[in-house]
Each structure stands twice: as C-alpha cells, then as structure tokens.
Amino acid sequence: MTYMGSDKTDASETQHPIPQGVIGCFRERLKEAMGTRAARVFARDSGLSEGAIRSYLSGETYPTLDRLEQIAHAADVSAMWLAFGAQPQRELVIEDDKYSYVPLYDARCSAGHGAWTEGARILTHLAFTTYSLRKHGLEPSKLSAIRVDGDSMEGLLSDGDTVLIDHSRNNLEGEAIYVIRLDDHLYVKRLQRQIGGGVAVISANTAYQPMMVSKESLNDLEIVGRVVWAGGWV
C-alpha cells in the first residue's frame, strides 16, 4: 500500500502516521468523521482532490501527516484520533438548518482510563430539532447519547432506554441524574451530595442499595455528563 501526499509521493521517504495495528480502521474513522458529506464536498472542504479522498475511503492509500491534518481540520476532529483511534474525537454532531443529529454510542460499559467512548462505536445519530435543544439551553456539539443497561433505574429508566447526555455539565451541581464512570464501568445514576463531602450514587430501583463514594475517593468518580432527556418504548 502507498501514501498519497503530493501527486507523486515516494512512500519510502514518507513518515507513516498510522501504526500497522490500526491501519485498517482508518477508512472507517474517516467515514465517521465525514458524516453525511459526500467525497466531492469533503474534498473541497479539505482542499484535497476527490480522487485522494476516495482512495483513502477505499483503503488503497493513506494520507501523509500534512494531509492528515488537513482532513482533521475539515472534519473538526482530533488528528490523533483520526490517525490512531486512541484519543477522543469531538462529540460528532451533524447539524443542518433544522435538525441536530446526536451520536448514539454503543457504550454500555467502558473499561480502562481513556475517554469514556474509547472502543465504542456510533450506532446511529438521533435527530433533535436544533431549536428545541437550544430552547433548553443545550449546545448540540456538547451532546451524545447512550442506552441504559440493566434494571437498577427501573421505575424511572428501563433497560434499553436511551438517555441524552450534556457533557458541559460534568460537575455535581445538585441532586440529579448523571452518567458516571466508576470502577471502569458506566452507570446512569442519581447523585446526591452528602454531609462530609462524599457522594451517594442512588438507583431508582429500591432493590439496589446506594453506593457511597467518600470524599477521599471522589477522584475515582468521573461524571461524564448530566442526563437531560430520556426516551424508550412503552
């Protein structure tokens, strides 16, 4: 396989921006970053030829570092994420004149200490009117969605329900429902500040006892964002 840098690029003299272990996934990340833009439109936005973009999408060639940066800038994603898939991209929200399309992640649990979406794929995008989001003080680019896992929030949220997360509200403002990461797993829970500085992690289903996070252990509690909307089948 070769690179595409200038019209004539010597691959042997070009530094490869993508390690072999993840090279085959580059075109999937590129497709994801392009969103709904066609190759012709994205090529224009990135200042590259349509042929180059199509070649990257097919997996026949890979961009040089300078072209990687052009692509990342046009897609408004991290060049490191685009190249390596190891760092978080921005929350990929696509907007048109009327709707904002919020990514729904397959992220029922998240192991490790990287980004909460690391290793998760985008299942689809959920359409919300941009007006309704902004009416509720929500910035579309700060939103994402996941599905509820399990019955611990039954009575409020059921297994498989979808929740919308506002990532700009990732501090404990008061008692509310948050998506959190604790012990390397994601949870949708009610958080309640306790006397002494600790936090109670509360399930709606009374069959589950509250989990207590002491003041000394608060660094182990990561608030991904506040739940601002929920939906599911009845």
Query: Does a structural domain hold residue 219?
Result: yes
pLDDT of residue 5: 39
Spans of the chain, pLDDT less than 50: 1-22, 87-91, 109-112
Question: Do 52 and 163 sit in the same domain of this protein?
Answer: no
Encode pLDDT of 13-57 as tens digits: 344 444 444 455 788 888 888 877 888 888 998 899 999 999 999
Question: What is the DSSP code string of 105-120?
Answer: E--S---SSS-TTTT-
Q: What are phi and psi of 223, to 5 degrees?
A: -90, 110
For residue 27, the domain's CATH number is 1.10.260.40
* Calpha distance 5→186 (Å, rounded): 41
The whole domain housing 114 covers: 94-231
pLDDT of residue 110: 46
* Calpha distance 189→41 (Å, rounded): 42
pLDDT of residue 136: 94
pLDDT of residue 1: 38
Q: Which of 84, 109, 129 is the last residue of a domain?
A: 84
Question: Do 131 and 36 sit in the same domain of this protein?
Answer: no
How many distinct structural domains can be found in the chain? 2
Percent of the chain with pLDDT over 70: 79
pLDDT of residue 92: 53
Q: Which of 54, 84, 114 is the last residue of a domain?
A: 84
pTM exceeding the 0.75 threshold for the entire prediction: no
Question: Do 69 and 176 sit in the same domain of this protein?
Answer: no
